[in-house]
Amino acid sequence: METQTPKVATDEQKNNGRRMLFDFGPLLLFFVTNYIYSDLMLSVKVLVVATLVSLAASWYLERRVSLLAAIGCAALVFFAGLTIYFDNEFFIKIKPTVVTLLFAVLIAGGRLIGRNPLEAIIGKQIDLTQKGWRAISWLWVSMFTTSALANELAWRTLSTDDWITFKVFGLTAISFLFFVLSVPILQKYQRRY
């Protein structure tokens, strides 16, 4: 009888799990807080604190914070601040629309003037040919535009509780779908050394 040694998670697997926790942990806390208390203002405060803690932990453990995460956090603090100050849920509801459209415009605008803003943002994590960067850039523009349109439809037609569920799970599902669509591009255009 053969004995099997247990598989030990690699550092990369641990880092991916940690990043996932840092990315989705605050959103899940936002959802759970609203589910338990049905209080959007409290849920927004929890989201801001959890996001700041997540970024601080990321910095402490990895000595880096991604540019996208930093921009997302700054936007969250700004829109959450407006939401709390004016006691108006409108601001937190439009945040995903504004941020994703901003990213879409920046990436598309950069591509149209011959620049590659996406490579500048995530180029240390993946190494693609120029054709690959062009394809992935337009895919991300599509993802951000789809997310913005979906959020607009959701916050205008759903109750606040249903919108929160959509924000946490629906927008995440859209991102996951586009991640799956990006895999063939990444495989085809990955630089080989």
| Tokens at 114, concatenated | 């011959």
For 74, 149, 150, 161, 183, the CA distances from 154, given in Å and listed in that order, are 23, 9, 6, 11, 28
The span from the CA of 122 to the CA of 84, in Å, is 32
Q: Are 74 and 48 in contact (CB under 8 A)?
A: no
Report whether 37 contacts 43 (CB < 8 A): yes
Calculate what percentage of the chain has a pLDDT beyond 70. 91
The two tokens of residue 174 are 């859209």
Q: What is the pTM of this model?
A: 0.86
Distance, CA of 78 to CA of 98 (rounded, Å):
12
Q: Which amino acid is at 98?
A: V
Which of 14, 18, 12, 13 lies closest to 57 in space, CA to CA? 18
Separation CA 24–CA 172 (nearest Å): 9
Residue 122 confidence (pLDDT) above 80: yes
The pair of three-digit structure tokens given for residue 86, joined into one six-digit string: 């004016």
Model confidence at 9: pLDDT above 90:
no
**Residue 13's pLDDT is what?**
61
Q: How is residue 99 written in tokens? A: 């941020």
- Span 49-83, pLDDT tens digits: 999 999 999 899 888 888 888 899 999 999 999 99
Q: Any idea which residue has 């970024």 for tokens?
A: 55
Structural tokens at position 73? 């956090």
Q: How many helices (H) and strands (E) does the chain have?
A: 8, 0
